[in-house]
Structure 1
């Protein structure tokens, strides 16, 4: 990974306990902020703020938008990376990341199914 911004985002996320919990929670199954909050016992405002940051930095994607029974929109988010390895050597940080191909496949299926 060569992008300085992407490296900084990954390092920031890995250094934050709540962000790691969020990433772990949506690695295999997309979830809403409310579901993440309940499962990981993170306060709602913290979950919302950190999920938004992860979305803005490209570490999460919205995989589905549901309409709740009371008519509100609920976005389901999923992590774009399956694993991350960080290496530091003499003022050089290298990061290797494995993409979460399940997410990429689902997004592509949705995109190409639009007619």
Structure 2
């Protein structure tokens, strides 16, 4: 799918230019991850990870797949990348960005939405 929205194109290119964001996206593509999982697997500091995850959520590069509650009542979110692949080409002053959505995320979101409506 070719990205038409300039703000989404810019967000994708910004993320791809940032090593830490790329690491987060790589970890969160195959399956959902908590912030602590992402920090442990990427080696990114807590403050940096939280800041970049927040930005990627705002830009729709990450998605909150699930919110879980621990036995002691604490909540934590599991995040997943909304994109599976990204391809960019710059030619004659024009930037073309092509993406493939992470279908599992979109399917699960739709399933959860429809199951909420049925209940």
TM range (shorter): over 0.9
CA deviations on 1:60-92 (whole Å, 9 max, x unpaired) are: 110000112332210000011100000000110
- Alignment correspondent of 2:94: 92
Describe how 1:30-49 pairs up with structure 2 within 5 A. 30-49=32-51
- Alignment correspondent of 1:13: 15
Describe how 1:56-71 pairs up with structure 2 within 5 A. 56-71=58-73
Aligned length: 115
- Alignment correspondent of 1:79: 81
- Alignment correspondent of 2:110: 108
User: Matches of 1:94 and 1:113 in 2, distance apart?
Assistant: 37
5+ unaligned residues in a row in structure 1: which ranges? Answer: none
Runs of 4+ in 1 over 4 A off after TM superposition: none
Tell me how large the CA RMSD over aligned residues is: 0.7
1:27 to 26, 29, 36: 29
The range that moved more, 68-77 or 89-98, is: 68-77
5+ unaligned residues in a row in structure 2: which ranges? Answer: none
